[in-house]
Amino acid sequence: MYILNEASKKIKVSLFITCLVDILFPQVGVSMVKVLKRLGVEVDFPEEQTCCGQPAFNSGFRQDAKVLAKRFISIFSQDGFIVSPSGSCTSMVRVFYKELFHDDQKMLDVVNILSSRTYEFSEFLVNVLKVDDVGATYNGRVTYHDSCHALRELRVQNEPRKLIKSVKGVDFVEMKFPDTCCGFGGTFSVKFPDVSVSILDEKIESIIESGADTVVSTDMGCLMQIGGAINRKKLPVKTIHIAELLASV
């Protein structure tokens, strides 16, 4: 079994669940809550939250993004950590809010504090709670897909791997080019669907080549893309979020 981290008992976390997980993949949020509670963290869900504004920001609609960013900032203004099951949405808050408000010093001051409290789920476990082994069990051959934002905006790379390797029953394998994009890219996936799918096909090939039966990632955007093709092609590979893997016992 895992060793309960005494220090984590007093840690307060506000869940930044993301709209994608809320509406399409609630089980990911539930898994995250289970793991955090198992580690003794005090978990809260600010119920006013909807979307952080990233789709608008990435599509060039900065004014709309600003409105939603300000809304997000006021909802998450209480104390404690903000933890999200998404490297991409975490990047929006931690990295791109600074970009969005780069010419507004007053907002920048607020954003800088918010940014320092915001974490992606796996890095929060490993770097803040200092936990690698959360006491999970999963029988399968698991490979990890690096979400681009987790990897290149947050520099989260070893954290999820450490967590996955510590799960009892997991046979971890690296795929070829795990850090190459899956082709999702948010609205890119529907703006240029054929290019997106063509990039995806190469990702699927390397997953299959790895011999894994399960693909894990930190982001449901990537997993929706990867899973979308796996299901369409009826391939014998499961896609699960790292929170789901860590919640399985």
Partner 1 sequence: MEDIKVNFEKNSATALKNANLQRALKNAIDQFRNVRGKAVGEFEEWEQLRASARRIKEWTIGQLDEYLEMLEANVIKAGGTVHWASDAKEACEIILDIAKKHNVKSVVKSKSMATEEIELNHSFEGAGIKVVETDLGEYIIQLANERPSHIIAPAIHKTREDISKLFVEKLNTPYYKEPEELTKIAREKLRSEFLNADMGVSGVNFAVAETGTIVVVENEGNARFTTTVPRIHVALMGIEKVIPRFEDLSIFLNVLIRSATGQKMSTYVSFITGPKRNSDLDGPEEFHLVIMDNGRSKILSHEETRESLYCIRCGACIYICPVYKKVGGHSYGWVYPGPIGAIITPQLLGIDKAHELPFASSLCGACKDVCPVKINIPRVLLELRSRVISDRRVGAGFLLRIAVRLWRFTMENKGIYNLASQLSYILQKPWIRHGRLTSLPFPFSRWTKKRDFPAVAKTSFRKQWNEIKDLEG
Task: Compute the least distance from the CB of residue 171 to partner 1, in Å.
Answer: 27
Of 139 and 155, which has the nearer Cβ to partner 1? 155
CB neighbourhood size of 1 (10 A): 8
Least CB distance to partner 1 at residue 213 (A): 19
Burial class (CB in 10 A: 0-12, 13-18, 19+), 175: buried
CA dihedral 218, 201, 181, 18 (to 10 degrees): -40
Q: How far is the CB of 174 from partner 1 (least distance, A)?
A: 15
Within 10 angstroms of residue 19's Cβ, the number of other Cβ atoms is 14
- CA pair distance 46, 62, nearest whole angstrom: 25
CB of residue 9 vs partner 1: minimum separation in angstroms?
10
Token pair in block for residue 70: 């300000």
Q: Which is nearer to partner 1, 75 or 171 (CB)?
A: 75
Q: Which is nearer to partner 1, 139 or 176 (CB)?
A: 176
Task: Kindly tell me which of 168 and 232 has the beta carbon lying closer to partner 1.
Answer: 232
* Contact yes or no for 209/138 (Cβ under 8 A): no
Are the beta carbons of 136 and 248 closer than 8 angstroms? Answer: yes
Least distance from partner 1 to the Cβ atom of residue 188, Å: 5
In this complex, which beta carbon is closest to partner 1, that of residue 3 or of residue 139?
Answer: 3
Residue 23 contacts residue 50 (beta carbons within 8 Å)? no
Which one, 139 or 177, has the nearer CB to partner 1? 177
- Output the smallest distance, CB 7 to partner 1, in A: 15
Nearest of 78, 156, 97, 173 to residue 121 by alpha carbon: 156
Looking at the chain, which runs of residues are DSSP E strands?
Answer: 12-15, 42-44, 81-84, 118-120, 137-144, 168-172, 214-217, 238-241
Closest distance between partner 1 and the C-beta of residue 69, in Å? 11
Nearer to partner 1, 67 or 113 (CB): 67
